A and B are shown apart, each in its own frame.
Chain A
Amino acid sequence: MLRIEGLTKRYRTGDLALDKVDLEVPGGQVMALIGPSGAGKSTLIRCVNRLVEPSAGRVRLGDTEITGLSRRELRRARRRMGMIFQEFALVERLTVMENVLSGQLGHVGFWRSYLRRFPQPAVDAAYQTLERVGLADQIDKRADALSGGQRQRVGIARALLQQPEILLVDEPTASLDPKTSRQIMRLICELCAERHLAAVINIHDVQLAQLFVQRVVGLRAGQVVFDGPPSGLNPEVLTRIYGEEDWTTAATRRKGTDGGDDDALDEERMAGIV
């Protein structure tokens, strides 16, 4: 499905962000990409849709070799890859609907998009998607009037409107509180399952990743240093990815809970009030 071979990126400043990365993501698989800041996670997913030009190596999506495409062909290929951003990257002054419909820009001509005359099927799809992510009542609000979690839902809806085959997700929860983070991660993973979408999710919250994904890839200094199931993240592996630290709490914690501890804590706190 997505196949990355020998992907290398050296920035003009001389920093080697990616060093011969080989990676394969089959259709429908949700994969988390973890690693310390500066490990090359963001660069990796941006090299996939060539928002950043790779220095060497190949990226294939299905039968298309992304790295060899002309600008025009690249635009067509980008329609197949939905992207979700850390700071949501919504166009703040446009409405929720306009933001979601902008997922269709690759399919619509310039004047139609300029005049906001999107084809009816696209508008229908936008309504359905907004309903699915729980924003049916916010359609006409401006994006900057929404809360963080709502904005990320708009970002997700925009990516879905492209009818993509794969989602490239860059730190979707980094600007959100823990509860909203879980909701957003759960939503992304549910949607991937519903639509048989593959996803590459950059995430720095290891525990959150462990809760939701099927596969974890650890990146350090531009190289893949771990590739396996979430259960394989033991202290020894975490040290390999992030460096020396006392990992015992992180490694044992995930055995305990799944989604319930927020509610449990709330119950404890509320216990004395009523």
Chain B
Amino acid sequence: MPIERRANEILWRRQSPVAQAARFAGWLALAALTVFTFEVMTRNTIWAFFLDAPRQAADLLGRMVPPRWSYIDQLWWPLWETLNIASIGTLLAIGMALPVAFLAARNTTPSVAFVRPLALFVIVSSRSINSLIWALLLVSIIGPGALAGIIAISLRSIGFIAKLMYEAIEEIDANQVEAITATGASGGQVLVYGIWPQILPAFAGVCVFRWDINIRESTVLGLVGAGGIGLNLQASLNVLAWPQVTLIFLVILASVIASEWISARVRHAFI
């Protein structure tokens, strides 16, 4: 009760005294929890190691630089493979995600009771498993190599793309759809003229965003044997070839920067 009537005046406060006390108690509890969790977290920490960390890091860094530039000759092909895993995986995902998105969107699904929950289930199950886990499963099913990586990337991306797209579809302006329907257009024409132009910017943005993420994810798929530059990373780590690891990091960094630049340009072009 923020408003309080007294004999000759009306008091107004943002919160009643009780709410104020509750708020204070809430903040206090949060602070206490933070202190407590820090306690738990550091229970097994060996502080000697922690204090030693800067020296260890400096030591590792010293062994990592300079990068072994000549190793780049062996990285071109894995890098190309990585880009392909990301790009083909994204394309496959787009192809599968679009129908799912239309089935999941409340305003375009043929049946809210049956088809929509099914589509939503596809989305959730795809999203709940990380690309690396998908890759792990697929490597044991279809064997190591880029194909497993491509499928892992696309399976993970279906849910992401379909979810963002069905939200975009649900937000379209129904008037435009109505207007196209009123001309006597068929269902397909309504889709192409009434709906597609409205979701095109979102579509372009989502696809390049996911492609951008997939470039990053595909660089680690090699750790579980699913092809790409990650294979070299793992091999170099295994033999403690730190200068090679540094070069791989630099190559990954460069490709991620390039993909971000490209996706920013594409998003800009489609607004």
Given contacts A89-B176, A92-B176, A110-B189, contact A102 B197 (CB under 8 A): no
In addition to A90-B176, A113-B189, 20 A-B residue pairs with Cβ atoms within 8 Å of each other are: A75-B184, A76-B184, A78-B183, A78-B184, A79-B183, A83-B179, A91-B179, A91-B194, A92-B198, A93-B200, A94-B197, A105-B183, A105-B184, A105-B189, A105-B193, A106-B185, A107-B184, A114-B192, A158-B179, A162-B184
CB distance from B73 to the nearest CB of A (A): 47
Residues 166-180 of B at the A interface (beta carbon under 8 Å): 173, 175-176, 178-180
Instruction: Please tell me if the beta carbons of B189 and A90 are within 8 angstroms of each other in the complex.
Output: no
Instruction: Please tell me if the beta carbons of B185 and A105 are within 8 angstroms of each other in the complex.
Output: yes
Residues 46-85 of A at the B interface (beta carbon under 8 Å): 49, 51, 75-79, 81, 83, 85
User: B54 within 8 Å of A by Cβ?
Assistant: no
Residues 42-57 of B at the A interface (beta carbon under 8 Å): none
The 3 closest A-B pairs by CB, nearest first: A106-B184, A89-B179, A105-B185
- Chain B contacts to A: CB under 8 angstroms: 173, 175-176, 178-186, 188-189, 192-194, 197-198, 200-201
**B184 contacts which chain A residues (CB < 8 A)?**
75-79, 105-107, 162
Interface of chain B, main secondary structure: helix
Instruction: Please tell me if the beta carbons of B182 and A78 are within 8 angstroms of each other in the complex.
Output: yes
**A162 contacts which chain B residues (CB < 8 A)?**
183-184
- A250–B181 CA distance with the chains assembled, in angstroms: 38
User: A222 within 8 Å of B by Cβ?
Assistant: no
Looking at A77, A90, A103, which has the most chain B CB atoms within 10 Å of its CB?
A103
**B189 contacts which chain A residues (CB < 8 A)?**
105, 110, 113-114
User: A87 within 8 Å of B by Cβ?
Assistant: yes
- A94–B189 CA distance with the chains assembled, in angstroms: 14
- A92–B201 CA distance with the chains assembled, in angstroms: 12
**B178 contacts which chain A residues (CB < 8 A)?**
51, 85, 89
The residue of chain A having its C-beta at the shortest distance from the C-beta of B195 within the complex is A91
**B194 contacts which chain A residues (CB < 8 A)?**
91
Contacting residue for A102 out of B173, B183, B198, B201, CB 8 A: B183
The residue of chain A having its C-beta at the shortest distance from the C-beta of B199 within the complex is A93
24 interchain pairs (CB within 8 A)? Answer: A78-B181, A83-B179, A85-B178, A85-B179, A89-B173, A90-B179, A91-B179, A91-B180, A91-B193, A91-B194, A91-B198, A92-B173, A93-B197, A93-B201, A98-B193, A102-B183, A102-B185, A103-B183, A110-B192, A113-B192, A113-B193, A114-B192, A158-B179, A158-B183
